[in-house]
Structure 1
């Protein structure tokens, strides 16, 4: 079968590694900075981002299904590092102005090909990756150029369940979404017990 004839479902069934941009994909794209108001301090602040709990649970389902998960983002953020830790993300690349450099490293680490990768993006910085991976996914709030490059567009926008939409689509294409849900709900499953245990301010 020619690659150009593959359906989104066909592409989803090949995915081994699912990668996300962060701002505008796992968040709504807003970047809130609370300045340090103490006198004579450096020009620094606290960055705030909001993540969807639906996406977090979806990542747990994807892990149960054997997918590797990664974040590839241009910004450097302690908030992203904390969220990645809580979700036990396999690959975390921040400060990536040219994201294909991170993709090349992930391919070597995982021993896979571009056809095995899915990537979820929302803005033009994501285009070099989306044009090359096996399954390119745009969020509902993505720029028109990004949607044009995508094999699938999520019903929900970034920060409001777009990540979960992408995961549900992949697992549905494999016919295992319901099975993964039941595994997650199994009180005896140690993986589901470890999933997304954040510490917040505790």
Structure 2
């Protein structure tokens, strides 16, 4: 029996236990803003989508473990990762497979059980070996060529949420995760994505 690519991607999505995102161009729109300081150094500022943040809460409620791997080092990313209670946070990763292998080992899963969301060629080594390769709508052509699924929205504008909704839908847990998130008695949902920024 020959399955079409969409069916094969859904089969892959059902096996996912860990979801990992690139940051720039995936959880942000890829623009980098620098505010100069008196010491000659700059503060890097990025914009994140609230839809993605809520989606990461849904992902956890749906049973996924979530993390990021990024080449840059950024205090802004550290703050956002803390607010979202990300389990795996790897910054300064020029070769992302090192971090990906460590995440899989810590989580006790195979790479087949890991989904990765990327947008540029630095993500190719991971996308080529993970169980579910996801490209954002704004991804470079080389990334889209290896992706099993391409998000409807670009990075920084809901691409992360698209990836989460896709996986949870394939696993049949999206509706339950939404119900749990909206349950006033659910302590885990109440504590999720309570952003403090730099307060």
Q: Distance in 2 between matches of 1:165 and 1:94?
A: 23
> Paired residue for 2:14?
13
Q: Following TM superposition, by how much is the alpha carbon of 1:198 offset from its aligned partner in structure 2, in angstroms? A: 1.2
Specify the alignment match of 2:47 in structure 1: 50
| 4+ residue runs over 2 A deviation | none
Q: Does 1:26 align with 2:30?
A: no
* Aligned residues: CA RMSD: 1.7
TM-score by length of 2: 0.95
Q: Does the C-alpha gap of structure 1 residues 78 and 201 become closer, same or farther in structure 2, counting only changes over 3 Å?
A: closer
**2:79 matches 1:82:** yes
Alpha carbons 2:35, 2:42 under 8 Å: kept? yes
Residues 110-165 of structure 1, C-alpha deviation per residue, up to 9 Å, x if partnerless? Answer: 11111000000000000000000010000000000000010000000000000000
CA distance in 1, matches of 2:86, 2:114: 15
Mapping 1:60-79, distance limit 5 Å: 60-79=57-76
- In the TM superposition, 1:36-185 aligns within 5 A as 36=37, 38=38, 41=39, 43-185=40-182
Secondary structure of 2:59's match? Answer: helix
Q: CA deviation at 1:200?
A: 2.5
Q: 2-side partners of 1:87 and 1:67: how far apart? A: 14
Report the TM-score, using the length of structure 1 for normalisation: 0.94
Gaps (5+ residues) in structure 1? none
Deviations 1:40-76 (A, max 9, x none): x3x3111110000000000000000111101000000
Report the 3-state secondary structure (helix = DSSP H, G, I; strand = E; otherwise coil) of the residue aligned with 2:137: coil
Pairs aligned (count): 198
1:197 paired residue among 185, 194, 199: 194
Quote the offset at 1:201 in angstroms.
4.8
Structure 1 window deviating more from structure 2 (174-183 vs 151-160): it is 174-183
